[in-house]
Structure 1
Amino acid sequence: MKMPTRIAVVDKDLCQPRKCSQECIRFCPVVRTGKRAIYFDEQLNRPVITDLCTACGICVRKCPFEAITIINLPSELDEHCVHQYGPSGFKLFKLPMLKQGKVIGVIGQNALGKTTIANILAGSIIPNLCSGNGSKDEVVRRFRGTELQTYFTRLYGNRLRVVHKTQYIELIPMVIKGKVKEALMRINGDESKVLEVAGKLNLTHLLNRDINVLSGGELQRLAIAAAILRGGDVYIFDEPTTHLDITERLRVAKAISELTSGNRYVLIIDHDLAVLDYLADLVVILYGKPGAYGIVSSIKGAKEGINEYLKGYLASENMLIRREAITFKSTPPPREVRKERVLVEWSDVVKNLGDFKLIARSGQLMRGEVVGVLGPNGIGKTTFARILVGELQPDEGVVMPYGVVRISYKPQYIRDIAVKYPELTVSSIIGKVAGVDYREKPHWPDLANGLLLTPIMDKSLRELSGGELQRVMIAAALLKDAELYVLDEPMAYLDIEQRIKTARVIARLAEEKEATVLFIEHDVTMLDYVSSSVMVFEGEPGKLGTANPPIDLRKGMNIFFKAQDITFRRDAHNGRPRINKKDSVMDRIQREIGEYYYYVTEKE
């Protein structure tokens, strides 16, 4: 009988040797027999667990910082171990099988190895095959008989040009200066090609703008344009839809799908399930324990793979990855306007900001509802949020709260907070926003576990990545005692599991505290999952925006997607929204009956 393979991981972020008596080493029963199952590595500055470990679990229980994880996995996985980050470090098992002429999507939580996969396939990391001394020749031999053997042979023989669009677009203004067109022309000197790609990604009007004044969505499109203009045989896109509205996401999806011509390889890592379903031909699912190990599933059709992920059970692997299935409401309830439940009301409001004008038609927010906010970028959603929380005063009209309304606001751009308080720790900033007793609040365990906050609680804000800072500020905003929560793009940088868990906390806040949540978001799947009503913003981005009052979810979604010229159908198994291909049979049927969003298909 084969023994299970053992994964013993010491998390470098959680381990704090200066504050510890190293009880994990002192109490190890193997050490007491004169052998060394665990020892302290001075160079790594943390304990390392050896193959002598018997998985008794004593060190796991003795560690005061929960830094040690020991997991038994089937021995069959040993031969599939692709890369390990040092002794007792994270392990990645298997890789996605890339296919020429196909878009391969990757679904899974953060900290399971998605970026490692991207770097291995881009050639930035030579996988060590968990032996510590992997070479290019060994990698090719490991994957013999598969499509990856051909891929790595060509990659390591310099016969593949790889273009890798990373997720960290906020770094672009720090390393690239000048106008947008100048930057693109330095990448590809063919002006007609630059103009063609700019037109596809709606960048034409930005070509003479300085890069350092671009918004997050504009930087994202610039990064994608730069990737396309580089011209490659392999394209890897890491989170290409962050900060983009739904129309821009589909525009980007179309541009990426066109890259598959000429038998190119395309890999996309994204957390927007609707766009991933629309763009990817095939998907793989990453599962495991974040920070400890990640396993790549077998390749699946996009629809089947996403449905298996939402169900929480991978059929071909016979693996349960989540105890609860995720389903969506196909017939949302109508919105009931009751005067005694109104929390905030506003008259017709006008605000001028330079060349932009926002007109918000009179409306009201009621206790206990989550109001999703839909609209393209540059249409005034953030401006309306800032008026609502009192950061901006309207030029005309008034916002009228009913009684004393405490407000919790998570702004769209949060990097300024880290600049203002660079030395504050995560624990301190959450306490500053939500109160020093935040750990005693009922939603703290869900947020701490769901947003992976425990490993970073003692980090200073200047040490955090953009994604980590986002998770911290979401938790702080949701833990604050308030009647009105205004959340501007809270799902950016979160993985799918984190989005679902955050959405559930938002829904519980509205239901249990009878709080009101204004939820500004571009991820249609999450808007559909958590919203009970919707505000639709219309107009001309950058010039004029009109904010319509909250209405029924069904009616609002139909109005918005009719204006965007997009139709969605509902999956027969779980009700999730799926984008229809333009002029497909389903698209034409739904346009004829005027049902742009809540059309439930029969079994497909």
Structure 2
Amino acid sequence: LKNFQGTELQSHFEKIAGGEMRASIKPQLVYLIPSAFKGTAKELIKKYDERNAANDLVDDLGLRDLLDRNVGNLSGGELQRLAVAIASAKDADYYFFDEPSSFNDVYQRLVVARVIRSLADAGKSVMVVEHDMTLLDYLSDYIHIVYGEPAAYGIVSGLQATKLGINNFLEGFIPTENVRFREKAFRFETTNSVEDMILDTAVASYSDLTKSFPSFHLKILAGRIRHGEIVGVIGANSLGKTTFMRMLAGLDKPDSGIIDLSAKISFKPQYLSQDYDGNVYTLLSAACEGVSDISSMEEQIIIPTGVKKLYERNVRNLSGGELQKVAIAATLMRPANIYALDEPSAFLDVEDRIAFAKFLQRFVRAYGKSAIVIDHDMQLIDLVADSLVIFDGKPGLEGLASQPMQKEVGMNKFLRELSITYRRDENTGRPRINKEGSRLDRSQKTSGDYYYTKKSSG
């Protein structure tokens, strides 16, 4: 306490020392919950329902249908929302949520954000650690920037207003502290006119496709992937997005329809395995078919994806983010015309997500490739995609994939379904969610312009 004498934190730590402050924490690693608790979701949330709020939280977070299921049988997204419900149900002064968006789709992320925001609106103090920058912007009043050298040291900036803090993060410079923590600033393009860079020739095309499972039916409307194009795929969980990508990659066969695929596809799956006995260099070398020395690919792929420094690391010992980077690099190093990436943002921090999106665009344009990307991070999709395929339907029962459409049209359609509107920050061009019910939100909904492609005052 002596170190904080005379500061605002002195009284805070005195309350902690005196047992006068109660905290509720939603941990980062929600997949460890089943090892700590054996029982149903209902039993677990009831155990911690100190505010008698469980019933409302269950409805708000879409947990009603899984209450009687054993926590060991829940998916990552279900565990995440259950953990948010448990943390929110406790009676505390301070609430801490560590990466609450992980494993959740866009719809679920908004629901989680609204639940967390409701705690602050009720007068509670809330802190959130999050890599989905659009979501963080949506729910925060103030932010801290954490910068430094991964696995070596970290520095926490002073408190900043959300808009200013995020813009400072993108700039890589904190003026009030005179600290530059990144050489280059991140910039967001404010035009979607890339048609002149995409050839009107298909490297892959498909007719209407269907695929059925015992309790799920998927229909995909006909479409094509053009030379030089990056197709973004968005939609709720459990609608068949991964199945669609696996069919394009030739790993699953449709029940009906034809895929005309003369091009070669390199596929990065959603779930990554560490069951590889060797180091990163050996794994990447194996990915390069017919290339004896991978040093020729260092400037093209390995250095931009940040995996060269991992060469000597055993694959089994990589973190989630490190493994994701290695998987992305290995996918892009395989000889192919189309690169199919299923949730490449998972486990990556916000800086790595933006860097990946920028790099993939450069890579596709420079080498005349095409790509298809599934992701739930709307900022990443907005950054990287030229066109969109939107999945709709009833999760776990039926899915319908649209034809590929222009990004502006697709984003407008998808945001209308979410009932949110976007504007662009006037300084950085980054997408920002309008406050629900604000003048700009009402105006854009009235005009039907949910996705605002031009810069606007923020």
Same fold judged by TM-score > 0.5? yes
- Report how far residue 319 of structure 1 moved: 2.1
C-alpha separation between the residues in 1 aligned to 2:177 and 2:50? 48
1-structure distance, mates of 2:303, 2:30: 26
- In structure 2, the partner of 1:234 is 94
1:487 aligns with one of 317, 326, 341 = 341
CA deviation string 1:147-206 (max 9, x = no partner): 21111111122222222222222323333333322222233388x632221111111122
Which of residues 421, 433, 439 is equivalent to 1:585?
439
Q: Is the 8 A contact 2:301 2:333 kept in 1?
A: no
Aligned to 1:219: 79
TM-score norm. by structure 2 comes to: 0.93
Compared CA separation, residues 446 and 497, structure 1 to 2 (3 A) = farther
Residue in structure 2 matched with residue 426 of structure 1 by the alignment: 280
1:277 aligns with 2:137: yes
Tell me the residue number matched to 1:8: none
Q: Is the 8 A contact 1:238 1:270 kept in 2?
A: yes
TM-fit CA distance, 1:533: 1.3
Which amino acid is the alignment partner of residue 16 of structure 2?
A: L
Change (3 A) 1:576 1:271: same
Structure 2 gaps, min length 5: none
**Distance between the aligned counterparts of 1:540 and 1:334, measured in 2?**
33
1-structure distance, mates of 2:301, 2:410: 31
2:334 is aligned with 1:473: no
Match of 1:351 among 211, 214, 232: 211
Q: For the Cα contact (< 8 Å) 2:191–2:453, is it kept in 1?
A: no
- Asked if structure 1 preserves the Cα contact closer than 8 Å seen for 2:50 and 2:90, the reply is no
Are 2:210 and 2:255, in contact at CA under 8 Å, matched by a contact in 1? yes
Which of 29, 38, 54 is the equivalent residue of 1:194?
A: 54
Residues 570 and 600, structure 1, Cα contact 8 Å, conserved in 2: yes
Residue in 1 that maps onto 2:295: 440
Alpha-carbon deviations, 1:208-235, whole Å to 9, x = none? 2333332222221122112212332222
What is the one-letter code of the residue matched to 1:277?
Answer: D
Q: Distance in 2 between matches of 1:447 and 1:182?
A: 48
User: Highest Rg: 1 or 2?
Assistant: 1
Q: Which aligned pairs between 1:507-518 and structure 2 lie closer than 5 A?
A: 507-518=361-372
| CA deviation map 1:300-325 (0-9, x unaligned) | 10001111111222111122222322
Change over 3 Å in CA distance of 1:341–1:306 after alignment to 2: same
> What is the identity, as a one-letter code, of the residue corresponding to 1:505?
F
Aligned to 1:548: 402
SS in 2 for 1:486: strand
Q: Give the drift of 1:480.
A: 2.0
SS in 1 for 2:403: coil
Moved more, 373-382 or 289-298: 289-298
CA–CA distance in 1 between the matches of 2:146 and 2:420? 30
State the alpha-carbon separation in 1 of the partners of residues 334 and 80 from structure 2. Answer: 31
Contact 2:225 2:370 in 1 (8 A): yes
Distance 1:200 1:264 in 2: 19
Equivalent residue for 1:341, pick from 201, 205, 208: 201
**CA shift digits 1:487-544 (9 cap, x unpaired):** 1110111112211222222112211221111111111111111111111111222222
1:145 corresponding residue in structure 2: 6
Contact 2:22 2:93 in 1 (8 A): yes
Query: For this pair of structures, how many residues does the alignment match?
Result: 457
Residue by residue over 1:382-433, the C-alpha shift from the partner in whole angstroms, topping out at 9 and shown as x without a partner, is: 11111111221111112111x3x2221111111xx22x43x33333333333
What is the DSSP-based 3-state SS (H/G/I as helix, E as strand, rest coil) of the residue aligned with 1:316? helix
1:90-109 equivalence runs, <5 A:
none
Cα displacement string for residues 9-30 of structure 1 (whole angstroms, at most 9, x for unaligned residues): xxxxxxxxxxxxxxxxxxxxxx
Unaligned runs of 5+ in 1: 1-139
In 2, are the aligned partners of 1:330 and 1:598 still within 8 Å (CA)?
Answer: no
CA contact (8 A) 2:229 2:370 kept: yes
- Residue 462 (structure 1) shift: 3.1
Q: Which structure 2 residues correspond to residues 139-178 of structure 1 after superposition, within 5 A?
A: 140-178=1-39
2:194, 2:337 → 1: CA distance? Answer: 22
How far apart, in 2, do the equivalents of 1:286 and 1:193 lie?
33
SS of structure 1 residue aligned to 2:176: coil
For the residues of structure 2 that align with 1:154 and 1:438, how far apart are their CA atoms?
60
Deviation of 1:351 (Å):
0.8
Q: Which moved more, 1:162-171 or 1:199-208?
A: 162-171
Q: How does 1:307-386 map to 2 (within 5 A)?
A: 307-333=167-193, 335=195, 341-386=201-246
Give the structure-1-normalised TM-score: 0.71
Amino acid at match of 1:281: D
**1:565 match:** 419
Letter in 1 for 2:429: G
Instruction: Give, in angstroms, the shift of residue 261 of structure 1.
Output: 4.9
Post-superposition offset of 1:579: 0.6
Per-residue CA deviation, residues 240-291 of structure 1 (Å, 9 max, x unaligned), is: 1112222211111111112225643311111111111111100111223333
SS at match of 1:164: strand
Shift of 1:449: 6.4
Indicate whether 1:525 and 2:376 are aligned. Answer: no
State how far apart, in whole Å, the 2-side matches of 1:476 and 1:383 are: 21
Change (3 A) 1:360 1:384: same
| Cα distance in 1 between the residues matched to 2:409 and 2:456 | 22
Q: What RMSD over aligned residues (CA atoms) do the two structures have, in Å?
A: 2.3
Distance 1:591 1:211, change over 3 A: same
Moved more, 475-484 or 274-283: 475-484
Instruction: State which of 412, 415, 439 in structure 1 corresponds to 2:270.
Output: 412
**Cα separation, partners in 2 of 1:198 and 1:451, compared to 1, 3 Å:** farther
Q: Give the 3 Å change call, closer, same or farther, for CA 302–382 of structure 1 in structure 2.
A: same
For the 8 Å contact 1:444–1:479, the answer to whether it is kept is no
| 1:334-357 deviations in Å (ceiling 9; x for gaps) | 657988621111110011122211
Distance 1:262 1:603 in 2: 29
The residue type paired with residue 158 of structure 1 is G
Contact 1:287 1:295 in 2 (8 A): yes
Answer yes or no: is 1:254 the counterpart of 2:108: no
Pick closer, same or farther for the CA change 1:529–1:448 going to 2, 3 Å. same
Q: Write the distance in 2 (CA, Å) between the matches of 1:567 and 1:482.
A: 37
Per the alignment, residue 63 of structure 2 pairs with: 203
Which of 221, 239, 243 pairs up with 2:103?
243
- Following the alignment from structure 1 to structure 2, what is the Cα–Cα distance between the partners of residues 516 and 445? 16
